């Protein structure tokens, strides 16, 4: 039962790769961004607190996201976990270690998707997903096979994230550089960190991740 982290700036491909791993390996994708968007949509107290912060592209508090992850880990006690978009700060990285240890689990690999910043804006601005099943697409890099029809569920309704605009992306990148990049050494020191070229096509990134998870690296 592997527990892994996917790290990388907004648009690096974390969600795309996590969804594939979830389907291919029976692991569970734990995306704090998805959890927070659900909370916002449901109008829960957490959602009401997080909404404006997310729309600005800033980080939600460490306590909130760590609590969300703890709940989901308990709900998926028998499955390997793919942490997608968590941790994003040193405090969250330490919280994750504790959450795992308390449950008799451990971190196996940390994969950083390395991408150049200019490409990220293009990726984020072209991102959309199926409104019914959540499958992620891109206008140019991952279009639906039949125009405007979801490959997976056949739905014709799609949505775009409110924070996927150039202005917010710049703030999110700055947050990544200031608060998330500094946690890389925390994992490097423990020899858990692997870098993957996130600029490669989606299938190639997936193949590189498979090699790492299968222990060949």
Partners of residue 29 on adjacent β-strands: 82
Which of ligand ADP, Zn ion, none binds 150 (CB below 5-8 Å, type-dependent)?
A: Zn ion
* Site mask for Zn ion (CB under 5 A), range 153-182, x = bound: x-x---------------------------
Long-range contacts of 131-135 (CB under 8 A, 24+ apart): 131/155, 131/157, 131/158, 131/159, 132/157, 135/19
d(C-alpha 8, C-alpha 31), whole Å: 13
Element (H, E) at 21: helix 14-25
Q: Which stretch binds ligand ADP (CB under 6 A): 20-28, 74-82, 151-159, 199-207?
A: 199-207
Establish how many alpha carbons lie within 13 A of residue 12's alpha carbon, considering only the half-sphere containing its beta carbon.
22
8 vs 191, beta carbon nearer ligand ADP: 8
Q: Between residue 128 and residue 147, which ones bind ligand ADP under the rule CB under 6 A? A: 136-138, 141-142
* Residue 127 within binding range of ligand ADP, rule CB under 6 A: yes
Our measurement of the distance from residue 153's CA atom to the centroid of its chain's CA atoms, rounded to an integer in Å, reads 22
Residue 12 near ligand ADP by CB under 6 A? yes
Quick one: which of 63, 75, 133, 207 contacts Zn ion (CB under 5 A)? 133
Contacts 24+ apart (CB under 8 A), 75-79: 76/28, 76/30, 77/103, 78/1, 79/1, 79/26, 79/27, 79/28
Smallest separation (angstroms) from ligand ADP to the CB of 136:
5
Six-digit token string for 168: 């917010």
When asked if residue 113 is in the footprint of Zn ion (CB under 5 A), the reply is no
Annotated catalytic residues are 14, 88, 127, 161, 172
Residue 136's binding partner among Zn ion, ligand ADP, none (Cβ under 5 to 8 angstroms by kind) is ligand ADP
Which of residues 126 and 134 has its CB atom nearest to Zn ion in the complex? 134
- Quick one: which of 21, 130, 173, 209 contacts Zn ion (CB under 5 A)? 130
**By the criterion CB under 5 A, which residues form the site for Zn ion?**
130, 132-133, 135, 150, 152-153, 155
């Amino acid at each position: 039962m592997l527990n892994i982290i996917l790290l990388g700036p907004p648009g690096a491909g974390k969600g795309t790769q996590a969804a594939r791993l979830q389907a291919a390996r029976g692991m569970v994708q734990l995306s704090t961004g998805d959890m927070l968007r659900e909370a916002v949509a449901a109008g829960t107290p957490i959602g009401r607190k997080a909404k404006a912060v997310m729309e600005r592209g800033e980080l939600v508090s460490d306590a909130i996201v760590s609590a969300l992850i703890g709940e989901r880990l308990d709900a998926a006690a028998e499955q390997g976990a793919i942490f997608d978009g968590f941790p994003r700060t040193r405090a969250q990285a330490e919280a994750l270690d504790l959450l795992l240890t308390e449950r008799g689990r451990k971190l196996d690999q940390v994969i950083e998707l390395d991408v150049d910043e200019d490409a990220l804006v293009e990726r984020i601005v072209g991102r959309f997903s199926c409104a019914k099943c959540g499958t992620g697409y891109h206008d140019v890099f991952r279009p639906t096979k039949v125009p405007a029809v979801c490959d997976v569920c056949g739905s014709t309704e799609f949505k775009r994230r409110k924070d996927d605009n150039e202005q917010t992306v710049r703030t999110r990148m700055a947050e990544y550089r200031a608060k998330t990049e500094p946690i890389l050494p925390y994992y490097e020191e423990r020899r858990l960190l692997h870098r993957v070229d996130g600029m490669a096509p989606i299938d190639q990134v997936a193949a590189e991740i498979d090699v790492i998870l299968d222990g060949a690296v």
